[in-house]
């Protein structure tokens, strides 16, 4: 959960000529990106994404930003600006629009198409405004200029936000690939022009701030893929993000060269690639695509499958293939390519999938043994280049874990940004831009909101703790029936253990302890069944810990008859 920042306290009222910036996600984590800008009582939101759960968050599907900060001011939102179409930037849009469906969505053509197809599944038809690089739009008091940036998805944008308080450049996610597949370069000329005009606050992507040099060009992936296709004797299965249009294009190009048919596997992959193809962002050779259900009818050496599941997600197509419970069965001699980087925290899940695939006889190619992925985020050399180009008066590193933000701040110092003009913030920390200076003025609540099936926000940290205990230690249930007239035990205690490693027969030893404790409590005048349940919980918990050195969940039930 996000740090509560009790030491900061509530922020003061925003001065009339000040700009307030509050990140509700994306600072101190990779994901859940959402930033709220406030000027003159009006709000502009940039991005609204999700965070994917860690293994210690069992049963959770998605983690959303906490909308409480803006929930009573939804009518003040001028627009939701979306920088690009990755899930960590657009995945929470349906949940925000459930609360106010007519919030205008502003973004590039591909980004809006991805969002609109997602919203259709939620039965929400948004009001959207498509913009492109070089365009300026007045959104209430916010004058927004959009600039092209190169990323691992086409049609990504940075946004410069002008208000009377100053100019803010929000880079979104970007890199400086000088030979991008689509020929669309990051607009360094535009960055330099804004720098000459005067950037009061630069908010820049920090994901790869610890990585030296410049990012490898996407074009260097193509010959590696061709080499894999050339050596493959049977099917080739490529797993990548369902929004990674550039990577899918490279796989299609290699499949065309080696005369293989291609099938998309995974609902989001089928949906997104259909959108990208219809809009002209994905070139699919004629007669190449086949329905994944018809793949088995083709010779295995003529087949390529492009699948979701590169992060080891339990319900993804690739994970199910590794477990042997997917219609596509992995066979000896298949080649599986994991064409993406590992999101921090997913390493165990990914290598569990790798081992499962290897168990079935597949050759698994991943970033650790071949150049099958290059990052979509600028490395430290590129970040320094942008800082030197823009010469911001103030700097706020965004999009990254704490170590990434610290590393980016160090780069900013090297570029000449004064130490007292560098603001390192986390989710919920309130930053005001006032009189040309950015500073922390307080904090607001910005916790995790969990999506579990159809429930949103109903799962709490306490219930997650209970799930972890159940998963790791199991539980012991105790049922005691009390005679309401005499106050004595009339039946039980009946004890059962599940998942705790304790044999039910061994639990007989604790029965006399429970009976003695209840009798002593009743003799002291305790009659409330809830209090008696706590007595039972303490007795059983102490005995299990002393006997087995385990701490299962104890579930007592005292019933009066």
Give the whole-angstrom CA distance, residue 52 versus residue 56.
Answer: 12
Full strand arrangement of the beta sheet holding 449-452: 62-64, 449-452, 455-456
The pLDDT, as a whole number, for residue 478 is 83
102-106, 330-334, 340-344: least confidently modelled range: 340-344
Residues 262 and 255 sit within 8 Å (Cβ to Cβ):
yes
315 has pLDDT over 70: no
Q: Where is average pLDDT lowest: 32-41, 309-318, 450-459?
A: 309-318
Percentage of residues in the chain having pLDDT higher than 90: 48
CA distance 15 to 429: 17
Quote the mean pLDDT of the chain: 87
pLDDT, residue 2, reads 45
* pLDDT tens string 219-232: 888 898 999 999 98
Distance CA 152, CA 352 (A): 26
Strand-pair partners of 477 = 496, 555
CA distances in angstroms from 125 to 86, 113, 462, listed in the order given: 20, 12, 36
- pLDDT of 1: 41
pLDDT in tens, 53-87: 766 676 667 889 999 999 999 999 999 999 999 99
CA–CA distance, 278 with 272 (Å, rounded to integer): 10
Kindly state the average pLDDT of the residues 491-503: 77
| Peptide bond preceding 493 in cis form (omega within 30 of 0) | yes
Q: Cα separation of 468 and 448, whole Å? A: 17
Burial (CB count within 10 angstroms: exposed 0-12, middle 13-18, buried 19+), residue 279: middle
Inform me whether the pLDDT recorded for 304 exceeds 50.
Answer: yes
Which of 242-256, 383-397, 456-470 comes out lowest in average pLDDT? 456-470
Residue 226 region, left (φ>0) first, then alpha (ψ -120 to 50), else beta? alpha
Q: In angstroms, rounded to a whole number, what is the distance separating the alpha carbons of residues 533 and 552?
A: 16
Q: Whole-angstrom Cα distance, residue 178 to residue 388?
A: 18
- Residue 346 clears pLDDT 70, i.e. is over it: no
| pLDDT given at position 168 | 97
Residue 278 has pLDDT above 80, yes or no: yes
Least confident of 137-141, 241-245, 302-306: 241-245
- For helices 380-390 and 188-197, angle between their N-to-C axes, nearest 10 degrees: 40
Question: In the block, which residue shows the tokens 């003159």?
Answer: 40
Burial class (CB in 10 A: 0-12, 13-18, 19+), 78: buried
SS3 at position 138: strand
| Interval 248-272 mean pLDDT | 90
Reported confidence tier of residue 345, pLDDT bands at 50, 70, 90: low
- The answer, yes or no, to whether residue 434 has pLDDT greater than 80, is yes
Return the number of other C-beta atoms located less than 10 Å from residue 557's C-beta. Answer: 15
Mean pLDDT to the nearest integer, 405-414: 96
CB of 476 closer than 8 Å to CB of 542: no
Residue 18: DSSP 8-state = -
pLDDT of residue 201: 98
| 469 has pLDDT over 80 | no
Mean pLDDT of 260-271: 88
Nearest to 114, CA basis, from 60, 153, 170: 153
What pLDDT, on the 0 to 100 scale, is given for residue 314? 58
Give the mean pLDDT of 131-155. Answer: 96
Q: Is the pLDDT of residue 4 over 60?
A: no
pLDDT tens-digit readout, 167-191: 999 999 999 999 888 889 999 999 9
Backbone φ, ψ for residue 337 (5° rounding): -115, 120
Question: Which domains are assigned to the chain?
Answer: 19-213+375-456 (3.60.15.10), 218-365 (3.40.50.10710), 461-560 (3.10.20.580)
pLDDT in tens, 104-135: 999 999 999 999 998 988 899 999 999 999 99
Q: What is the mean pLDDT of residues 335-359?
A: 74
């Amino acid at each position: 959960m996000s740090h509560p920042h009790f030491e900061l306290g509530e922020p003061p009222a925003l001065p009339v000529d000040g700009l307030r910036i509050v990140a509700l996600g994306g600072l101190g984590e990779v994901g859940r990106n959402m930033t709220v800008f406030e000027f003159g009582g009006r709000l502009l939101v940039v991005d609204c994404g999700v965070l994917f759960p860690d293994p210690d968050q069992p049963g959770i599907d998605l983690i959303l930003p906490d909308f409480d900060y803006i929930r009573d001011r939804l009518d003040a939102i001028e627009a939701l600006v979306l920088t690009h179409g990755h899930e960590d930037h657009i995945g929470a849009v349906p949940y925000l629009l459930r609360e106010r469906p007519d919030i205008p969505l502003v973004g590039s053509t591909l980004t809006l198409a991805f969002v609109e197809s997602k919203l259709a599944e939620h039965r929400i038809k948004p009001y959207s405004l498509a913009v492109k690089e070089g365009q300026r739009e007045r959104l209430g008091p916010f004058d927004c200029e959009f600039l092209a940036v190169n990323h691992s998805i086409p049609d990504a944008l940075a946004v410069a936000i002008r208000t009377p308080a100053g100019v803010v450049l929000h880079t979104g996610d970007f890199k400086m690939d000088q030979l991008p597949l689509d020929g669309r370069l990051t607009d360094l000329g535009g960055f330099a022009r804004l720098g000459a005009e005067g950037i009061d606050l630069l908010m820049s992507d920090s994901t790869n701030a610890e990585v030296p040099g410049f990012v490898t060009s996407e074009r260097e992936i193509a010959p590696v893929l061709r080499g894999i296709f050339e050596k493959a004797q049977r099917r080739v299965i490529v797993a990548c993000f369902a929004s990674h249009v550039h990577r899918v294009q490279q796989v299609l190009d290699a499949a065309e060269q080696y005369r293989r048919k291609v099938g998309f596997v995974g609902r989001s992959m089928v949906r997104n690639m259909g959108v990208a193809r219809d809009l002209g962002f994905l070139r699919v050779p004629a007669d190449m695509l086949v329905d994944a259900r018809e793949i088995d009818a083709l010779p295995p050496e003529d087949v390529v499958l492009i699948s979701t599941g590169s992060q080891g997600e339990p319900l993804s197509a690739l994970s199910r293939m590794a477990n042997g419970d997917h219609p596509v069965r992995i066979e000896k001699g298949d080649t599986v390519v994991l064409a993406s980087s590992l999101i921090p925290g997913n390493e165990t899940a990914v290598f569990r999938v790798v081992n499962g695939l290897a168990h079935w006889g597949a050759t698994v190619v991943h970033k650790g043994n071949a150049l099958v992925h290059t990052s979509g985020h600028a490395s430290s050399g590129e970040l320094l280049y942008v800082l030197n180009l823009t010469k911001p008066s103030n700097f706020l590193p965004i999009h990254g874990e704490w170590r990434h933000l610290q590393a980016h701040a160090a780069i900013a110092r090297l570029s000449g940004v004064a130490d007292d003009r560098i603001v390192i913030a986390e989710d919920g920390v309130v930053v005001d831009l006032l009189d040309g200076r950015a500073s922390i003025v307080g904090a607001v609540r910005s916790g995790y909101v969990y999506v579990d099936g159809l429930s949103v926000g109903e799962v709490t940290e306490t219930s997650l703790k209970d799930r972890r205990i159940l998963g790791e230690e199991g539980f012991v249930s105790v049922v005691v029936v009390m005679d309401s007239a005499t106050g004595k035990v009339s039946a039980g205690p009946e004890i059962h253990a599940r998942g705790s490693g304790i044999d039910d027969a061994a639990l007989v030893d604790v029965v006399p302890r429970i009976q003695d404790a209840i009798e002593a409590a009743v003799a002291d005048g305790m009659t409330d069944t809830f209090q008696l349940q706590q007595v039972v919980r303490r007795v059983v918990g102490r005995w299990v810990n002393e006997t087995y050195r385990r701490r299962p969940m104890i579930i007592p039930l005292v019933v009066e008859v």
